[in-house]
Structure 1
Amino acid sequence: MSAPSTEYSVRALHGIPEVRPGDDLVKLIAAAGPELEDGDVLVVTSKIVSKAEGRIVRADDREAAIDAEAVRLVARRGPTRIVETRHGLVMAAAGVDASNTEPGTVLLLPEDPDASARALRAGLREALGVEVGVVVTDTFGRPWRNGLTDVGIGAAGVRVLDDLRGTTDVHGTPLGVTVVATADELAAAGELVKGKADGLPVAVVRGLPHVVTEEDGPGARALVRDASQDMFRLGTSEAIREAVTQRRTVREFTGEPVDGAAVRRAVAAAVTAPAPHHTTPWRFVLLESAGIRVRLLDAMRAAWVRDLRELSGFSEESIARRVRRGDVLYRAPYLVVPCLETSGAHEYPDAGRNAAEREMFVVAMGAGVQNLLVALAAEGLGSAWVSSTMFCREVVREVLDLPAGWDPMGTVAVGHAAAPPKQRPARQAGAFIEVR
């Protein structure tokens, strides 16, 4: 690889006519740039690639085209959709664009931008005898930043990422995380001279031969961060939806310890639930000590077995089967006991109203626990809400030394799932809706 240059030039390529479906881009670019040299980088807007490839649909089919090009919805605000495309790109409207195209039509992104870049590179090699790099670009908005910029969505013969990890800076400090998105920087540089309104869809970057490679390389696909490494993969609406839909009861956990700070963050989400009379009726007892967990569960099991024998008349086999259902709490590395505290409830002269008053608080408790479960899922933790403490509240209060006014409302087992939860049939919302 040649040494990095300390200066380079960028110029727009003049003379490329309006591109139409079926046009030969290699011929059009070669005619406009016969002076191209080895080591140049051609920065080509995806619009002319899409036009030449016939990626044009009627404007009234735009929403359907977005649906077809998208693999997931990341975020939505009003009619604006941020989606992930088939290419792995996260962008507005899947790149379906009405700019620089005939009225009444919209353009889709190229079918395979990396393949398009490879074809252009090979064609120019044959037509002009030069070894150039090619970057196919499109315009992106960016999280946390105003304004748009061009990025590379296709590439060939370009070092799309320059990995500087393991090298040192001028002070000798090792670089541990620096990986430069060279293709995106080339795309942005080219956009400064191309311009959307000037009919100049191609730029030439000269003076950076070290970024041009002999092989076509992995293409711009290498710029797409793997989902497992993407800390910001989810948009706001998708994050909420994902956490809710991915919240499943987990009954088998690994031995990995649970971060108490993550549970506390989940509790912070839990106590934002609505509650009657501006009260805060939730209390969450966090059982972080293995000793206290076992002591509580042993006492609860003894009380449960006693009740099943003396009050319910179950057989020993039936009792053993029922008791085994509570083993999930023993297997969990962390337990949370949600408690209902109703000191803020109103007192009424009749039992019916008082019962309704308590029901309001119980509903608020359910909302708080649901917030907790969803927030735990968002933290990457599995959970199971087990009702057991509700059937032996006095035992729980005694073992955990809880105030008399705290009513345990089950136990939440928390941990890292040993396996993905089993998929269940999707529940159709319409089956649970009545409209009057």
Structure 2
Amino acid sequence: MTTPTGFQVIPVTGIGEVRPGDDIAALLSGAGLRDGDIVVITSKIVSKAEGRVRHAPDRMRAIEEETERVVARRGDTVISQTRHGFVMAAAGVDASNTEPGTVLLLPEDPDASARLIRAKLRENAGARAGANTGKSTGKSTAQNSGESTAQNSGVNVGVNVGVIVSDTFGRPWRNGLTDVAIGAAGVRPLDDFRGTADSYGNQLSATVTALADEIAAAAELVKGKLDGVPVAIVRGLAHLVTEDDGPGVAPLIRPADEDLFRYGSRDVVFARRTIREFSGKPVDPEAVRRAVAAGIAAPAPHHTTPWRFVLLESPEVRTKLLDAMREAWIEDLRGDGFTEESIAKRVRRGDVLRNAPYLVVPCLVMEGSHTYRDERRNAAEREMFTVATGAGVENLLIQLAVEGLGSAWVSSTMFCRPVVREVLDLPDSWDPMGCVAVGHAAAPPRERAPRDPGDFIVTR
């Protein structure tokens, strides 16, 4: 890799207001591009040229439509994931530098936008070179060809430039905004130093430099927010410009399941979803133990700890338990008069547990409970402990979601507690309160039907 001795950032002025249908590459025809330049273009003008302008007095509606997943919300501030995979404020919907009553949406496919602009820049370069070469000057074609590059004040012959589409992002734990790349073509997006050693011989295990983002941020220094300069040329980094279009910004996007902070505190409860189909990816036992730690943080009566969590990490134990539960279930159903066909159909519903790579059996214990003379109060005492156990299980389920794990709470074990206690060798005082299937979701969960909290509130 060639190490540059320095680089320049040059503002491109005089572009003016961009309208739907405008050709960005044509607007750069007089920019004086050179081979190896990187053109950084503010996404706003790309959006305008592509007609991504919406008449939307209600900006929140536009944000909702552009949002794939809400990450965090505080008042009117929404951090969301777009369908591109970007996690950013307001799903990239912008009401600045656009006519009143309108908002700008991000380009539909910023990488495709960058590729198209790059291709047109090359096409324009070829056309201009041909025009210059064909001028009638009384000189030979060879002479004209040799001088065309020197005479061309616009794009040079054979120009190979990189293109970055940039947008402004906030950053966790840091004040202020900076520009990053949301689309790229012909630019190496990352430098991966993992596996190499520093000058002291230390092995690097996590150093990956976001080159495209650094270039976008550098370009913003000359573009500014209020100066009407939407494009900058970064010159001197030709070693980062590639012949092909490259992977775009995809390598810069961290997958959601690798994001340690994928949920904001206000939205984490809604991240819990019932998952019934799991992939073959193994479950990290330590992640489950962290979820148990959240479970036992739930409130409980009399300062007690009414929860016990049995972790079924052995495939043999899981199969033995589920086989025994199935037999007990079939026996109960036959005793209730169900047909064999109906029994088979009901038993198949238990496949969510059988297909899960990990099971947790939450149990209720009444240690520390009070005993009263009247049964009414004793029944209420058990209800208090049951509610506390449910709170513990809900904490467990939410933390599993935070850990990137899917889960389903199935009540089957409550119908055959003696069988579960026998197979798992549990004390008689432990009451299984269902079984939690745990694993990595095989597919994204279906959208939850909207619920209006007002339908569940009674005010007195």
1:92–1:373 CA distance, 2 compared to 1 (3 A): closer
Q: 2:167 aligns with which of 133, 138, 143?
A: 138
Q: Paired residue for 2:393?
A: 369
Q: Map Cα deviations across residues 2-34 of structure 1 (whole Å, 9 max, x no partner).
A: 712021122323333333444443344333x33
Q: Which moved more, 1:37-46 or 1:166-175?
A: 166-175
Q: Paired residue for 1:75?
A: 72
Contact 1:59 1:98 in 2 (8 A): no
Count residues with an aligned counterpart: 423
Q: Map Cα deviations across residues 100-140 of structure 1 (whole Å, 9 max, x no partner).
A: 22333322223332333334332363553332222121100
Q: Map Cα deviations across residues 344-390 of structure 1 (whole Å, 9 max, x no partner).
A: 44555532233223212212222222333444455436566455467
Q: CA deviation at 1:68?
A: 3.1
Q: CA deviation at 1:268?
A: 1.3
Q: CA deviation at 1:184?
A: 0.8
Find the aligned partners of 2:361 and 2:46 in 1 and give their Cα distance.
60
Find the aligned partners of 1:280 and 1:365 in 2 and give their Cα distance.
9
Contact 1:376 1:383 in 2 (8 A): no
Q: CA deviation at 1:415?
A: 5.7
Q: Which moved more, 1:209-218 or 1:227-236?
A: 227-236
Q: CA deviation at 1:142?
A: 1.7
Q: Secondary structure at the match of 1:189?
A: helix
1:18 lines up with 2:44 in the alignment: no
Q: Map Cα deviations across residues 212-240 of structure 1 (whole Å, 9 max, x no partner).
A: 22223333344333455555544445543
Q: Which moved more, 1:328-337 or 1:65-74?
A: 328-337
1:348–1:208 CA distance, 2 compared to 1 (3 A): same
Q: 1:356 aligns with which of 380, 405, 426?
A: 380
1:342 lines up with 2:341 in the alignment: no
Contact 2:263 2:402 in 1 (8 A): no
Q: Map Cα deviations across residues 316-355 of structure 1 (whole Å, 9 max, x no partner).
A: x99x989999999899886655443335445555322332
Q: Paired residue for 2:227?
A: 198
TM-score using structure 1 length: 0.76
1:180–1:434 CA distance, 2 compared to 1 (3 A): closer
Q: Paired residue for 1:65?
A: 62
Contact 1:39 1:207 in 2 (8 A): yes
Q: 1:56 aligns with which of 32, 53, 57?
A: 53
Q: CA deviation at 1:160?
A: 2.2
Q: Which amino acid aligns with 2:76?
A: P
1:357–1:420 CA distance, 2 compared to 1 (3 A): same
1:374–1:85 CA distance, 2 compared to 1 (3 A): closer
Q: Paired residue for 2:178?
A: 149
How do residues 249-398 of structure 1 correspond to structure 2 at under 5 angstroms? 259-286=284-311, 336-376=360-400, 378-379=402-403, 380=405, 382=407, 385-388=410-413, 396=421
TM-score using structure 2 length: 0.73
Q: Paired residue for 1:129?
A: 155
Q: Which amino acid aligns with 1:361?
A: F
Q: 1:108 aligns with which of 105, 109, 114?
A: 105
Q: Which moved more, 1:20-29 or 1:99-108?
A: 20-29
Q: Paired residue for 2:132?
A: none
1:158–1:369 CA distance, 2 compared to 1 (3 A): closer
1:228–1:328 CA distance, 2 compared to 1 (3 A): closer
Contact 1:134 1:155 in 2 (8 A): yes
Q: Secondary structure at the match of 1:6?
A: coil
Q: Percent identity?
A: 55
Contact 2:413 2:420 in 1 (8 A): no
1:279–1:69 CA distance, 2 compared to 1 (3 A): same
Contact 1:390 1:408 in 2 (8 A): no
Q: 1:189 aligns with which of 218, 221, 229?
A: 218
Q: Which moved more, 1:194-203 or 1:56-65?
A: 56-65
Contact 2:325 2:419 in 1 (8 A): no
Q: Map Cα deviations across residues 185-211 of structure 1 (whole Å, 9 max, x no partner).
A: 110001112111222222221111111
1:347–1:60 CA distance, 2 compared to 1 (3 A): same
Instruction: Show structure 2 runs of 5+ residues with no match.
Output: 129-153
Q: Secondary structure at the match of 2:28?
A: helix
Instruction: Show structure 1 runs of 5+ residues with no match.
Output: none
Find the aligned partners of 2:27 and 2:89 in 1 and give their Cα distance.
30
Q: 1:38 aligns with which of 14, 35, 52?
A: 35
Q: Secondary structure at the match of 1:100?
A: coil
Contact 1:19 1:48 in 2 (8 A): yes
Q: Paired residue for 1:85?
A: 82
Contact 2:365 2:431 in 1 (8 A): no
Contact 1:114 1:153 in 2 (8 A): yes
Q: Which moved more, 1:137-146 or 1:327-336?
A: 327-336
Pairwise CA RMSD of aligned residues?
Answer: 4.5
Q: Paired residue for 2:143?
A: none
Q: CA deviation at 1:269?
A: 1.5
Q: Which amino acid aligns with 2:292?
A: V
Contact 1:249 1:421 in 2 (8 A): no
Find the aligned partners of 2:182 and 2:4 in 1 and give their Cα distance.
24
